[in-house]
Structure 1
Amino acid sequence: MRILFIAPQAFTSTRDAQDAATLAKVLRRADHAVDLLSPLYGHIDTVKLALARRLTKLEFDLGGRPWSCELYTGRNPDGVDLTFIGNEEVLLSADSLTGEGGQLEASRIGVFAKAATELIRQNADNYDIVHAHGWAAGAVVARLRSALPDLPTVLTVYDAAEQGRFDSADADWLELGEQAVDEAGITVLKAGLLSADQVTALSPNYAHRLQRPDSDHPLGQVFRDLGSKVSGVRHGIDPAFWNPATDGHLPSRFDPFDMDGKDKCKAELQHDLTLPVRSDAPLFGAIGHVDDEGMALLAKIGPDFLRNDVQLVVQLEGDGELVAIYEELWDQWPDRIQIKTGNDEAFRHALIGASDFIAVPGSEAPSDNIQMLAQRYGALPIVHREGGLADEVVDCEASLKTGSGFLYDEPTTRSLLATMQRATAAFANNKAFREMQSRVMRLDHSWERTTRLYERAYRDAIAAHRS
């Protein structure tokens, strides 16, 4: 199959970029031809990527004025063909597309979308399907519906909270038509949803939540009206990068058949954070941002949870009141909780490798597959039953012979506390708990499984388009 990826966030630190790049690589290994189309941002090194600038340019009118875009092409080591659309005025001056509104951001999206559509029109016979990644790619999908109605499209929604909302005054820059308009103005994601042949979300549970009758999402009715066009596709993790047997960020390596290294990782982290070095105390890790409602929920149960014989290590990105709340917990229980601020990748690996449990409260959208990473490293995830992460977690029963984590039923302090106490009790069953850790480490979270699901989505999109 000949597949074109529209990846407006390519070569940024976003989930969209990382997953699009990995999926392209795995599809290429499965003998599909994959091209990736992206804006050329200022931080992208054309020399390092060995990109060649084409002599021809894309020229068009937008917003009442002419535009000219340069094209850069190359091929990455995985065999994926790369094309970048450059414009010094609006694209090279940016690091990514933020969707924060305003004329400049609207012009960036509009210029990329119109240039991409023209380039695809010139090469339409080269592709069987277009796979658009993220809200900003919805602008390209919407344009393709009218410019190339015979070309099937799939749009992947990474986080439905990111919608690309703009004022009606920006309509001439976006040119998305009436389908993008609602009472709040113009929504790029809405235009893409209504134009795509198939829409995928990052998990079946997340897709279901977006379509539920009681969903309060601003685009909830749009998702519901799409019906069976919406499906959930679980994205995998990179088993080469996330591998406790080879992870250079860990002080000791381990695998499902030899867990001694995990005990050493736990002892090392406890020592480094001045926690009591105890193998018999369950170590809970939590990773999140100060804006995450789940991290606030975890802080609320802190006074009750830390009365137990447990240890909690929190990696918290951002500043503000929530950091102060966690620091107050540390003042009261310095031998049971430690807080690490920032987004240090090495510490993240070390924390997951050392932890017996990883608490992921909240998480409406499965933003970074933290539950899979936890399982890969023998840390049992604790997630909300209705959240976007629950697809990969089967609730453990009392004997610990089945299950792959712990689910709490309601997004309340009472429900979360009860589940974390249940996990604490499970840890006390030492032999059964170690066997469960080994079992979940062997679960298949590979991208090969994800690839098969996307191949089916592509076939469904092509069939739906033909019908």
Structure 2
Amino acid sequence: MRVLFVTPEVFPLIKTGGLADVSAALPPALAAAGVDVRLLLPGYPAVLAGLGELQDVGGPLMDLPGDAVGRLKLGRLPDGILAYVLDAPAFFGRPGNPYIGPDGRDWPDNAGRFAALCWVAAGFAAEAAADPWWRPDVIHGHDWQTGLIPAYLELRPDRFGGGGARRPGTVLTIHNIAYQGQFAPYILGDLRLPSRAYQMDGVEYFGGIGYLKAGCFYSDRLTTVSPTYAHEIQTAEHGEGMEGLLATRAGSLTGILNGVDYTVWDPVTDPLLPANYGPEDLAGKAQCKEELQVAFGLDRVPDAPLACIISRLTWHKGLDLVLETIGEWVRAGGQLVVLGTGDAWTEAGFRNLHGWFPRSVGVRIGYDEPLAHRIQAGSDVILVPSRAEPCGLTQLYGLKYGTLPLVRRTGGLADTVVDANPAAMKDGVATGFQFVNATPLELLWQLRRAAALYRQPDQWTALRRRAMTRDFGWSGPAREYEALYRSIAR
């Protein structure tokens, strides 16, 4: 079983969110399950620098959408997985964020950049294949940046079929339906798509061209990153305008929960921590907490409940609810550390909190991967009050690090955190705290519940140990993907 795994980012080479972590962890898990998996990546400078033993595959690529010239290269990721890279300097040879320019706006040529990536991916199915020595049985794309792959295979058989070539099965994974890749209709010809593609049963989407819509319409199978989110995106509340199409494809849509790479995220072995610890010996966690209080300039109070936020600082993440309620947590003796970047008003709100409570609230605007590990290890509670959350990874990291998640019941948060209600506590299955409605009052109630339970050390320790033993590794999801691939391989 050969699978081409097409993704716009992969940790540690290029990362803007959880997709990079998934792209780093799922391929090795698939390989362990017996799948011959290779990645296809855009040739960002960090990717070219991070791949080992780069070799050209074939000659120059002269017919890319957008009229750029590129080369397909093959190298190895740090974990040994083989990866192709589209080296097209005019499209990808630029530093910084892969989607947004220095002015904070989307790169104006994003449509052409990711159409080129999709074109090259589809080329693995052509008679004159991109790599004549390796032809995939399945092409698995991720998010809107790969949505044109199944469209090219369906609409351009003259270019990507014929001559007895087997068309591979196609899978598209929706990591966040809010990001859809919407572009002007006049670029249809530049994308090398026929005019018949521009219709509702095609790539047309609200008067433009929708890359994610195209992928959802043409892919053989669709997946998303949690079972609950698979149901939610078929509703008007969460479907972002695509709920009708997804409801018609419900039989081809599967929710497969994301996993955690425990070779990276495990407090027993994590080299980024000041002290390691596990569920049987939590002494190191207390040391991590003290180090975190010092690092953020907080009062060194061992028994102060310390909450954390590691997130994009946006309304969708429910962080306005935190700004409205966290003052009571602090006034009751709690502390808060924040790591993230996002909307200006949210960043300003947390800076103001730090100004009001400088010894109880610490804020770092930006993202720092090693610091994220230290925050997970040193905190008691991680706040994830999202209005929508396809899967979420920070709450899974929190479980492993004994930092109990306090989450809103949506998407993958609902699938991974068991509320510490009396019945769940009695049955020994609780792992955190949940609330339903995105209101300050409900979040405040959960903060009070968490603080009250924290003041009962025996129960808190039992809850913490139970959370740390939950298994959200990648082996189970990899088996689900492997079965899905076999069902569509051609």
Deviation at 1:265? 1.4
Deviation at 1:243? 1.3
Alpha carbons of structure 1 residues 234 and 22: separation in structure 2 relative to 1, 3 Å: same
What is the distance in 2 between the residues matched to 1:175 and 1:120? 17
Deviation at 1:361? 1.1
Identity %: 30
Aligned to 1:49: 52
SS at match of 1:50: strand
What is the distance in 2 between the residues matched to 1:223 and 1:164? 17
Alpha carbons of structure 1 residues 136 and 436: separation in structure 2 relative to 1, 3 Å: same
Alpha carbons of structure 1 residues 317 and 102: separation in structure 2 relative to 1, 3 Å: closer
Gap regions ≥5 residues in structure 1: none
Aligned to 1:436: 463
Alpha carbons of structure 1 residues 45 and 327: separation in structure 2 relative to 1, 3 Å: closer
Q: CA RMSD in A?
A: 2.6
Alpha carbons of structure 1 residues 449 and 251: separation in structure 2 relative to 1, 3 Å: same
**Aligned 8 A contact 1:69 1:115 in 2:** no
Alpha carbons of structure 1 residues 193 and 435: separation in structure 2 relative to 1, 3 Å: same
**Aligned 8 A contact 1:266 1:353 in 2:** yes
**Aligned 8 A contact 2:387 2:410 in 1:** no
SS at match of 1:90: helix
What one-letter code is carried by the residue in structure 2 that aligns with 1:365?
E
What one-letter code is carried by the residue in structure 2 that aligns with 1:432?
Q
Aligned to 1:9: 9
Deviation at 1:41? 2.6
Alpha carbons of structure 1 residues 68 and 321: separation in structure 2 relative to 1, 3 Å: closer
**Aligned 8 A contact 1:102 1:166 in 2:** no
SS at match of 1:126: coil
When the two structures are superposed, what TM-score results if normalisation uses the length of structure 2? Answer: 0.86
Gap regions ≥5 residues in structure 2: none
Matched, 1:115 2:116: no
Q: Kindly report which structure 2 residues correspond to 1:93-104, keeping only aligned pairs within 5 A, or say none.
A: 93=94, 98=99, 104=109
Instruction: Give 2:446's match in structure 1, choosing from 419, 429, 437.
Output: 419
What one-letter code is carried by the residue in structure 1 that aligns with 2:341?
E
Matched, 1:39 2:78: no
What is the distance in 2 between the residues matched to 1:352 and 1:2? 37
Matched, 1:403 2:404: no
Alpha carbons of structure 1 residues 184 and 424: separation in structure 2 relative to 1, 3 Å: farther
Q: Kindly report which structure 2 residues correspond to 1:256-267, keeping only aligned pairs within 5 A, or say none.
A: 256-267=279-290
Q: Kindly report which structure 2 residues correspond to 1:163-178, keeping only aligned pairs within 5 A, or say none.
A: 163-176=180-193, 177-178=197-198
What is the distance in 2 between the residues matched to 1:47 and 1:284? 35
What is the distance in 2 between the residues matched to 1:36 and 1:48? 12
Deviation at 1:152? 1.1
**Aligned 8 A contact 1:9 1:96 in 2:** no
What is the distance in 2 between the residues matched to 1:319 and 1:216? 23
Alpha carbons of structure 1 residues 61 and 338: separation in structure 2 relative to 1, 3 Å: closer
Matched, 1:224 2:251: no
Deviation at 1:88? 3.4
**Aligned 8 A contact 2:234 2:242 in 1:** no
Q: Mean alpha-carbon deviation: is it higher for 378-387 or for 325-334?
A: 325-334
What one-letter code is carried by the residue in structure 2 that aligns with 1:170?
I
Aligned to 2:154: 145
SS at match of 1:256: coil
What is the distance in 2 between the residues matched to 1:313 and 1:334? 11
SS at match of 1:248: coil
Deviation at 1:270? 2.2
SS at match of 1:315: strand
SS at match of 1:12: coil
Deviation at 1:366? 3.9
What is the distance in 2 between the residues matched to 1:257 and 1:341? 34
Instruction: Give 2:486's match in structure 1, choosing from 431, 456, 459.
Output: 459
What is the distance in 2 between the residues matched to 1:8 and 1:352? 27
What is the distance in 2 between the residues matched to 1:321 and 1:17? 27
Matched, 1:60 2:63: yes
Aligned to 1:351: 375
Deviation at 1:103? 5.9
What one-letter code is carried by the residue in structure 2 that aligns with 1:312?
L
**Aligned 8 A contact 2:2 2:37 in 1:** yes
Q: Kindly report which structure 2 residues correspond to 1:124-135, keeping only aligned pairs within 5 A, or say none.
A: 126-135=135-144
Deviation at 1:102? 7.2
